[in-house]
Amino acid sequence: MGIAGARSQVHQFFALLALTTVLLLFLFGRRAHSSSPSSAIETLRRRPPFAAAGGLCAQLLLPLGYPCSEHTVETKDGFLLSVQRIPHGKNALEEKPGPPVFLQHGLFQGGDTWFINPVEESLGYILADNGFDVWIGNVRGTHWSHGHTTLSVHDKEFWNWSWEELAQYDLMAMISYIYSITHTKIFYVGHSQGTIMGLAAFTRPDIVKMIDSAALLCPISYLDHVSATFVLRAVGLHLDQMLMTMGIHQLNFRSEMGIQILDSLCDDGHVDCGNMLSSITGDNCCFNASRVDYYLKYEPHPSSTKNLNHLFQMIRKGTFAKYDYGWFGNLKRYGNLHPPSFNLKDIPESLPLWMGYGGSDALADAIDIQRTIKELGSEPELLYLDNYGHIDFIMSVRAKDDVYGDLIRFFRSRGWPTSY
């Protein structure tokens, strides 16, 4: 196994070197002979400047008459995260906040995700109008959480993390902060990467003790049945390792560099970049494409190349484990050749879970979700929607009727949470 392993590592290294050269040529040499770019990339090129002034409250909620306050939370490793609180709805009869619910967005998204559809369609507004005290998470690296006590976004150390740190540090800091104010166990809502963070964090007694119950939209712990053509292409081309080799630590698809990376992946005809969203997430039944230009005011948000690498490791290996630093790095860090796995059985059976998933989701595949459910100690409540894709669960024009009604019923069935 040793020699075969070493040989395959040498082989991989040269493959990587060749691919990196190809990508470099693409990025810096293609303008001269560029074919007509896909419409999706043209749309991305038309993106308006990111609207950050005054923060998320000032941008989206206050103009609509919702109460909203901005909070800054410091993580153990020095990141300064912005968290928003919408203590009640617009027409609340009393100002006393309801039970706290925390919303954790997915990859390349930010807290704005829960508010960029109209008021009657977006989960953030709907929860506030249903009497919940709504708290919004924004992980490190998103446009809303670009601060650090000593680092700047131009430092490569600023981007030296994956979802593991988002679970261990960001979630810990945000949930502890909310608990310190509300003294009440928190309802958790996560979408996609927000569910990886949740499931990893719930294996830790110090975090899960602050959570009353959790609703997971497109839950992910295993990723080996991903079928999204664009993603599989990027995995096959080792895009993650290429970018790391090239010293690109920040992954920002609003930047010209980010758009060129997409462009180079689209250029070879293997994926349908005319419908980029479907190629990345699966067919979304109820996504309103005429809102794309508006969404691009806020999204996509940056993430780290290391995070992409960690996610691609999960796709390649079918594991739900800590970051793989390679044999030598793993030995040094974990005392083992392989990184330790997260054990879903460590999530307490007493934590009620609700899961919403779709038959058209090319990222959170039903087979992977069945495996997750099998490994959990408890039986989650399930909502399956055959025609829903990955983005529908947050942006479908019908999500209120299809999804959020049942999610709210689940939380209400818990009663008013107490302290631990």
Ligand X SMILES: *[C@@H]1O[C@H](CO)[C@@H](O)[C@H](O)[C@H]1NC(C)=O
Letters for 355-394 (x = contact with ligand X by CB under 6 A, - = none) are ----------------------------------------
DSSP code of residue 300:
P
Residue 389, CB-side half-sphere exposure with 13 Å CA sphere: 19
Question: Could you write out the three-class secondary structure of 311-378?
Answer: HHHHHHHCCCECCCCHHHHHHHHHCCCCCCECCHHHCCCCCCEEEEEECCCCCCCHHHHHHHHHHCCC
Contacting residues for 248 by C-beta, under 8 A, at least 6 apart: 257, 305
| In the complex, least distance from residue 77 CB atom to ligand X, rounded to whole angstroms | 9
Which residue number, 49 or 247, has a Cβ lying nearer to ligand X?
247
List the one residue out of 134, 206, 128 whose CA is nearest residue 167: 206
130 near ligand X (CB under 6 A): no
293 near ligand X (CB under 6 A): no
43 near ligand X (CB under 6 A): no
204 near ligand X (CB under 6 A): no
203 near ligand X (CB under 6 A): no
Whether the CB-CB separation of 373 and 326 falls below 8 Å is answered with no
- Catalytic pick among 105, 143, 310, 390: 390
Question: What are the tokens at 316?
Answer: 């390649």
398 near ligand X (CB under 6 A): no
Q: How many CB atoms lie within 10 A of CB 207?
A: 19
Q: Which ranges constitute the DSSP H helices of 267-319?
A: 276-281, 292-295, 305-317
Which residue number, 266 or 394, has a Cβ lying nearer to ligand X?
394
Secondary structure class of 163 (helix, strand, coil): helix
Sign of CA dihedral 161, 165, 166, 172: negative
User: Of 71, 291, 297, 338, which lies in the binding site for ligand X, with binding defined by CB under 6 A?
Assistant: 291
Question: What are the tokens at 216?
Answer: 């997971």
Distances (CA, A) of 222 to 160, 229, 364: 23, 18, 8
245 near ligand X (CB under 6 A): no
| In the complex, least distance from residue 291 CB atom to ligand X, rounded to whole angstroms | 5
350 near ligand X (CB under 6 A): no
CA 156 distance to own-chain centroid: 21
Letters for 132-171 (x = contact with ligand X by CB under 6 A, - = none) are ------------------------xx--x-----------
In the annotation, is 390 catalytic? yes
- Catalytic pick among 82, 122, 145, 192: 192
Which residue number, 36 or 290, has a Cβ lying nearer to ligand X?
290
The one segment of 172-180, 213-221, 288-296, 345-353 that binds ligand X by CB under 6 A:
288-296
- Catalytic pick among 129, 133, 212, 361: 361
Which residue number, 133 or 165, has a Cβ lying nearer to ligand X?
165
User: Of 288, 381, 382, 405, which lies in the binding site for ligand X, with binding defined by CB under 6 A?
Assistant: 288
Question: What are the tokens at 55?
Answer: 């923060």
Total of chain residues touching ligand X, rule CB under 6 A: 7
Separation between Cα atoms, residue 222 and residue 411, nearest integer Å: 26
User: Of 51, 257, 292, 397, which lies in the binding site for ligand X, with binding defined by CB under 6 A?
Assistant: 397
Separation between Cα atoms, residue 279 and residue 276, nearest integer Å: 5
71 near ligand X (CB under 6 A): no
In the annotation, is 361 catalytic? yes
Which residue number, 157 or 401, has a Cβ lying nearer to ligand X?
157
290 near ligand X (CB under 6 A): yes
Which residue number, 160 or 387, has a Cβ lying nearer to ligand X?
160
Which residue number, 90 or 156, has a Cβ lying nearer to ligand X?
156
> Strand pairing of 79-86 and 133-136?
antiparallel
| In the complex, least distance from residue 189 CB atom to ligand X, rounded to whole angstroms | 23
Which residue number, 156 or 204, has a Cβ lying nearer to ligand X?
156
Distances (CA, A) of 384 to 85, 234, 356, 361, 406: 30, 28, 6, 11, 11
| In the complex, least distance from residue 398 CB atom to ligand X, rounded to whole angstroms | 9
In the annotation, is 249 catalytic? no
Residues lying near ligand X in the complex (CB under 6 A) are found at 156-157, 160, 288, 290-291, 397
Q: Which residues are catalytic?
A: 192, 361, 390
